[in-house]
Amino acid sequence: MAGDYPKIERVMGGPAGWVSVLFPAVLFVFFLNVLPDVVHGPIVAGIDWVPSLGVRMSVLLDGLSMMFALLITGIGTAVTLYSTHYLGDHPHYPRFVCYLLMFMVGMLGLVLTNDLIALFVFWEITTISSYLLIGFNADQASSRRSALQALLVTGAGGLILLAGLIVLGSVAGSFDLSQILTQGDEIRGHPMYGAILILFLAGAFTKSAQVPFHFWLPNAMAAPTPVSAYLHSATMVKAGVFLMARMNPVLGGTDAWFWTLILFGGVTAVFASVMSMRQTDIKQVLAYTTLMALGTLTMFIGAGTHYAILAGMLFLLVHSLYKAALFLMIGIVDHATGTRDATVLRGLAKAMPLTGLAAALAALSMAGVPPLLGFVGKEYMYHASMDLPGLGAIWVTLMTFAASALMFAAGGIVAWRPFRGELAQTPHPAHEGSWPMLAGPLTLGALSLIFGLFPGIPGHFLIGPATNAVEGAVHEVDLHLWGGINLALLLSIVTFAVGWLLYRNHEGIRARLAGIETRSPVDFDAGWDHLLDGFKHFASRLTDIVQNGSLQRYLAVTFTAYAVLVGGTYLARGAFDVGPRLIELGAHPVQWSVLLLMIAGSFLVVSTTSRMTAVAGLGVVSVGVAIVFIMFSAPDVAITQLLVEVLIIVLVTLVMLRLPYLPPRSELHFRFGHAIIATSVGAVVTMVLISMLSGPFDRKLTDFFEQTAYPEAHGRNIVNVILVDFRALDTFGEITVVAIAAIGALALLRGIRTRTKTDLNANEEA
Amino acid sequence: MELLLAVTTGILTAVAVYLMLSKNLLRYLWGLVLLSNAVNFVIFLGGRLTPGAPPLIDEGEYAPVGEVANALPQALVLTAIVISFGLMAFALALIYRTYMTIGTVTSTEMRIAEPRPRKSESDE
C-alpha cells in the first residue's frame, strides 16, 4: 500500500510536516504544565458563544479530559512525526496534514468542552475528518466504501446522540456539563432517563464500534497506517468510551446501565478477540484487538465500582500506549518489506532490531506480562471483576479472562512471530526504519515499561484524577506492580498458559475459524450492503409513487391534502359555526341573480365541448365578478377586472385558432373521483369563509390607511394610495412578475415553426 | 349576501378544481382562470362587504366621512388580478408552444422528461 504513488521530494514533509509536528508537541507541553493543577481539581473556564441560545464555549479540564488531552497530543506528536517520513513524499501530504490536524482539534475539543452542544459539534468534526482520513486513498473503491461506511454509521450515531443531548439538556435545564454532572440523582430519577440512556448509548456504541455496530472499524484500516494508529489508540473510537466515562456520574449506577454496558462490552471483547485470531493481515489482527479493548473498557465503565473504573482508566492508558506503538511498528514493517501478511513475515529481528524492540515492549504490555504496565492493568481488571456483585462478577471475569488470553496470542502473532526465526523473502528486502518513524514506537514502548516499573507516577498524575472524574467522587489512588500472591495473580498465570497454548496452535485455529466464517449465515459487512441497497430500492419505489410524472396525480394529491387537512382540522376542533349576524343579512334580487349567472357560467365551462362556448362561459363568470366588485364599492377593481377579462378573451381566442378542438362528448366522461375531490375543496373553502365572516373583524390596518392616506400621501383615492405609495414595493414586484411572464412567453413563442397545410395534412394522415 | 357569496366562491372553486384535474390542458387553463377569480373573492370577502361607499376621501376632508369600503383587500385584489393575468398568459404560451412542439395538449401523453417507470425495473 505504501509506495505506489508519484513521489515528491520533501525534507521531513516540508513546511506542512513541521507545522503538523509542532502543533501537537506544543499543546502536549502545555497540558503537561497544567497537569499538576488538575491533579487537585478540575478547571472550568470559558466565554459565551451563542448567548441567545445559552450556548457557551467553555472548557472543563478535569482528570478524565486531561488524560485524553495528553494522549491526543502526545500520541498525535508521535504520529505526525512518523507521517513526515511515512507519507512526506506523497503528492497530497499537505492535504493529509490538514485532515489530521482537523481531526486532532475535533478530538481535543470533544474531550475538553464543557457544553453539550459544543460537544456534539466536535463529535461531528471527528466523524467528518475521520471520513476524509479513511478515504485518503480516494482512488481505491474499497477505501471510499470504508470511509462512507464509517461516516454513515458514526454519523447516524452522532445524530441520535444529538437527540440525547437535547433531551438531557432540557431535563437538566442547562447544557453546561460541569453543572449537569452534579445533577446525577435528579436525572436518574427522571421519567426521561430511559430515553436519554438509549440515545446516548446509541451514539457511544456506534462511535466505539460495539457489536453489532463494529463492522466499520476493521474496514477503516483502509486509512494510511499512521491514521489507523491514531484512530485506534487515542482518538475517534475512544470518543464513545470517553462519552460513557464522562456521563457515568449522571447516567451510571443503575441496573440498566450496568447490564447494558457489561453485556455489550463483554460480547464485543470476546467476539473481537476470536475474530482477531482469524486474520492473516497483521494490521487486521490489531484492528480486532482494538475492538476487544473497546469492549473491555465499556464493560468496566459499566461495572461502575471504584475498582472497576480504576481498572478501566488504567487499561485505557495501557491500551493507548501499546496500540499506537504496534500500529506504528506495523507501518514500519509494511514500509520496509512491502507486506503485512502474518503467514509470510519471519525473522525480521536481525534486519530491524529497533523496530523489533519497540514491537516486543508493546506486545508484552498487550499480553500483560510483568513488569510492563499491561500486567498492572490486567491485575486490576481481574481484581475489579471478582469484586463485582452476583452474576456480574462471573460474567465480567470470564469475559476478561477470555479476552486476555486471546490478547496474549494476538500479541504473539503480531509482534513475536514476524521477528523470530530465519529472515523470510519479502517483496522488498527488510531494512530498519528511519528515526522519525522509530521515535514514536520506541518512546511509547519505553513508557509502557517505565510506567509498569513505577506505576505510582501514572497512578498519581493520570489514573487517580481520571478515576475521580469518572466516579464523581474523591479517592486516593495508589497503584502497585506487585499486589502479593492472590487470586488475580493466579488468574494471570492461567491466562499466560492458555494464551501460550492458543499462540502455539494459532494456525490451526485460524483455519478452523475461516471455515466457520464461510459457513456462518451472519455477515455484518454484507448485511450493511443489503441495508444500503434496501434504502436505495425503497427510495426509488417511493419516487415512482410520489413523482410519477402525472400532473393529474400531483394536483389530486395537493387538493386532497388541502381538503383533508384543513377540513379535518375544522371538524376535529369543532371550530365551524355560522354566526347569527351572517344569516340576518339578506340579499337584493339583483345581487343573487348575478351570483346565479356566475354559477351557470362556470357549469357551462365544465359541460361544453365547444371551445368558444367555454370562453363565453368564462366571460360570464368574469363579468359577474366585476359586477360584484362594483356593487360592493370597488370601482377600481371592477375596471381592472373587465380590462383583464377582455385581454384574456382576445388572447385565448387568438391562440385557440391554432390549438386542437376539445375532445368530443363521447370522450368527456364524468369523473366521479375528481368530482368528490372538487366538491370537498369547494366545501372547505366555503366553510373557511363562513367561519372567517362569523368572527370579529379587526379594522386596525384599514383605519391606518384611511387616516394617513391624505395627510401623509396626499391622495384621495385610498386604494390608489395603498398601491403606489404604502405598498409601492409590492406593486413594483407585480410589474416585475408581469414583465417576466411576458419575456417568458416571448421566449416560448419565438422561433415557433408555423404549421403549414402540408404539416397539418401529414398529421391527419398519421 | 356574504353567506351567498361565500357559497358561490365555494362552487366556483369546486368547478375550478374539477377542471384542473382534467388531463386536457385547455380545460386545466380554464380551471386556473376560475380559481383565480374564486381566490379574489376570498380576499375581497375577508375585508367584509360594504355597498355603495367607495374608499374615497372627499374634497376638503382629511379622512373619509362615515363608513367606507375596506380599501386594503381592494388593493390586494388589484395586484392579484394582474398577477393571475400574467400567469394565465404565460401558461397559455406554454401550452401553445407545447402543442406546436410535441403535438398534444393531453398531459398524460407528455412523457419526454419523465418517461413512464418501466415495470421491469423492480425486478433488478
Nearest to A271 by CA among A406, A416, A97: A406
Q: Which residues of B touch A741 (CB under 8 A)?
A: 86-87, 89-90
Full 3-state SS string of A104-160: HHHHHHHHHECEHHHHHHHHHHHHHHHHHHHCCCCCCHHHHHHHHHHHHHHHHHHHH
SS3 A57: strand
Residues of A in contact with B99 (CB under 8 A): 658-660
> Residue A637 and residue A629: Cα distance in Å, rounded?
7
Kindly report, residue by residue over A540-579, the tens digit of the pLDDT: 888 887 777 788 888 999 999 999 999 888 888 876 666 6
Say if residues A152 and A92 touch (Cβ distance below 8 Å): no
A70 within 8 A of A62, measured Cβ to Cβ: no
Average pLDDT over residues A638-667: 85
Average the pLDDT over each of A75-89, A192-206, A341-355 and give the range with the smallest value.
Answer: A341-355
Please give the radius of gyration of chain B, using alpha carbons only, rounded to the nearest integer: 22
Q: How far apart are CA A197 and CA A245, in angstroms?
A: 13
- Residues of B with Cβ-Cβ distance to A706 under 8 angstroms: 55, 63-64, 68, 71
Residue A713, CA distances (Å) to A17, A162, A531, A728, A734 in order = 69, 54, 66, 12, 21
- CA A273 to centroid of chain Cα atoms: 28
**3 state SS of A44:** strand
A50 sits in which H/E element:
strand A43-50
Please provide the average confidence, as pLDDT, over all residues in chain B.
85
Calculate the CA dihedral of residues A543, A547, A553, A556 and round it to 10 degrees: 90
CB distance B74–A634 less than 8 Å? Answer: yes
Point out the residue among B8, B26, B78 whose CB comes nearest to the CB of A662. Answer: B26
Distances from the Cα of A13 to the Cα of A83, A229, A748, angstroms: 8, 19, 59
Averaged pLDDT score across all residues of chain A: 86
Q: What distance in Å separates the CA atoms of residue A416 and residue A430, rounded to the nearest whole number?
A: 16
Q: Report yes or no: A625 at the B interface, CB cutoff 8 Å.
A: yes
Indicate if the pLDDT at residue B117 is higher than 70. Answer: no
**Percent of chain A at pLDDT exceeding 70:** 95
Q: Where are the domains of chain B?
A: 2-48+68-105
Report if pTM > 0.80. no
Across the interface, whether the CB atoms of B83 and A744 are under 8 A apart is answered: no
**What is the arithmetic mean of pLDDT over A507-522?**
82
Question: A463 or B110: which carries more pLDDT confidence?
Answer: A463
**Model pLDDT, residue A54:** 67
pLDDT at site A579? 62
C-alpha cell at position A255? 441496573
Q: CA-to-CA distance for A50 and A334, rounded, in angstroms?
A: 48
The CATH code that applies to domain B2-48+68-105 is: 1.10.287.3510
pLDDT single digits (tens) A570-599: 888 876 666 666 655 567 788 888 899 999
Q: What DSSP string runs through A252-296?
A: TTSHHHHHHHHHHHHHHHHHHHHHHHH-SBHHHHHHHHHHHHHHH
Q: B35 pLDDT band (50/70/90 cuts)?
A: very high
Which pLDDT band, with edges at 50, 70 and 90, does A201 fall under?
very high
Contact B57 A685 (CB under 8 A): no
Closest to A300 (Cα-Cα) out of A467, A181, A448: A467
User: pLDDT: is B108 or A20 the higher one?
Assistant: A20
Nearest by CB to residue B72, choosing from A618, A722, A740, is A722
Give SS3 for A45.
strand
Cβ within 8 Å, pair A723-B75? yes
Q: What is the phi/psi pair of residue A632, to 5°?
A: -110, 45
Provide ipTM, 2 decimals.
Answer: 0.91
A603 has a chain B CB within 8 A of its CB: yes
Q: Is the dihedral of CA B106, B109, B111, B117 positive or negative?
A: positive
Contact A583 B3 (CB under 8 A): yes
The answer to whether the CB of A113 falls within 8 A of the CB of A59 is: yes
pLDDT, average across residues B99-108:
83
Q: What local confidence, expressed as pLDDT, does residue A4 receive?
A: 63
pLDDT in the model for residue A601: 93
Which of these, A105, A216, A200, lies nearest to A158 by C-alpha position? A200
**pLDDT of the residue at B116:** 62
More confident residue, A317 or A427: A317
A717–B contact, CB cutoff 8 A: yes
Residue A125: partners with Cβ closer than 8 Å, 6 or more residues away: A102, A103, A105, A106, A109, A110
- Structure confidence by residue, pLDDT tens digits, A132-165: 999 998 888 889 999 999 999 999 999 999 999 9
pLDDT at A85: 86
